[in-house]
Amino acid sequence: MALKNILVTGATGKQGGAVIRALLSSPTPSFHIYALTRNASSPSAQALASKPNITVVEGDTSNPAPIFTSISQPVHGVFSVTVPNPFKAGSFEENQAIPLIDASVKHGVKQFIFTSADRGGPGKADNDPTPVPHFITKFNVENHLKSRNMQWTILRPVAFYENLTPDFIGKGFAAMWRQLGDVKLGLVGTKDIGLVAAKAFLHPENYANRAVTLVGDQLTFAEADKAFEDVVGTKMPITFNLVASGLKWMIHDLGAMFKWFGEGGYAWDMSGVRKEEQLMDFKTWLKSESKFQKS
């Protein structure tokens, strides 16, 4: 049986890479993956090119016509992830996704998966863009995708476990989380985003024209700090509140997002959603996927 061609954007990034690994882990190969990157000669792109059933494609989704020309084969499905730029407001992510959506329709793509962001849970996220700039642009992309004549799936992850790292950026995220006090934050791992995207390609009938909220755990900072100590043996690495406040002041998008978190953006009851996909909880992620080493 001929393999279906899947175009994966952000192939060398966290989410695109997770989708590729999940597709390749299938015991029966069903897809040939076209891994899209801005630099096909980079070490990470070359590592992908060495794997079976992968062709690395260089291109920019804001100008997708050359991408489809270079593939020269019918593309069955597209996985699209957009990357926010906290210093560029407006339609930055729309410019990455909307041209690709329109080109996909033009070239007969059957299935388009867009990874977006949760905005308050099923139902609410369909209608509320929130005040967070990069959530607004994802909301606009979602609506454009829904309006096109193509089967779609929207994945709406909450905050990423991968924001927690041993370096300055991870310590800054931890400090901003601590400033939320007793407000719970929803979290998920990028590995699980990839697994759900792969399931949607493998079983499209279960995900057709659906938005799926992805949640692995829901914790206050104190609960997360306790879980971290249980697994790693130390308190979560963190920086000063002054640094966290400074980051939120300097980067408007970041500040708006944490303000929305603090107002309960990810504090809604996620228990039902968590049961649906059975994703990694925080302790499981710490043990199997994180960069933290047990002391």
The answer for 75, left when phi > 0, alpha when psi is -120 to 50, beta otherwise, is: beta
Q: What percent of the chain has pLDDT over 90?
A: 88
pLDDT at 1: 62
- Start-end of H helices in the chain: 14-24, 43-49, 65-71, 92-106, 124-127, 133-147, 168-178, 190-202, 221-232, 241-250, 252-262, 271-277, 282-288
Instruction: Name, in order, each residue with C-beta under 8 angstroms of 275's C-beta and a sequence gap of 6 or more.
Output: none
pLDDT tens string 32-42:
999 999 999 99
Average pLDDT, whole number, for the chain? 95
pLDDT of residue 67: 97
Burial class (CB in 10 A: 0-12, 13-18, 19+), 202: middle
Cβ neighbours around 244 below 10 Å, total: 22
At 144 the pLDDT is 98
Dig out the tokens for 96 from the structure.
Answer: 């990455």
In whole angstroms, give the CA distance from residue 225 to residue 137. 32
| 190-202 vs 14-24: helix crossing angle, rounded to 10 | 50
Q: What's the average model confidence in pLDDT over 272-281?
A: 86
pLDDT band at 50 (very low <50, low <70, confident <90, very high): very high
Q: What is the pLDDT of residue 89?
A: 64
Which is nearest to 200 in space by CA: 50, 2, 56, 4? 4
Q: What pLDDT digit, counting tens, does each position of 69-121 carry?
A: 999 899 999 999 998 887 776 688 999 999 999 999 999 999 999 999 999 99
Residue pLDDT, tens place only, 126-170? 999 999 999 999 999 999 999 999 999 999 999 999 999 999 999
CATH fourth-level superfamily of 4-158+188-215+267-280: NAD(P)-binding Rossmann-like Domain (3.40.50.720)
Q: Contact, 186 vs 266, CB < 8 A?
A: yes
Q: What is the pLDDT of residue 102?
A: 98
* pLDDT tens by residue, 215-243: 999 999 999 999 999 999 999 999 999 99
**Global pTM value:** 0.95
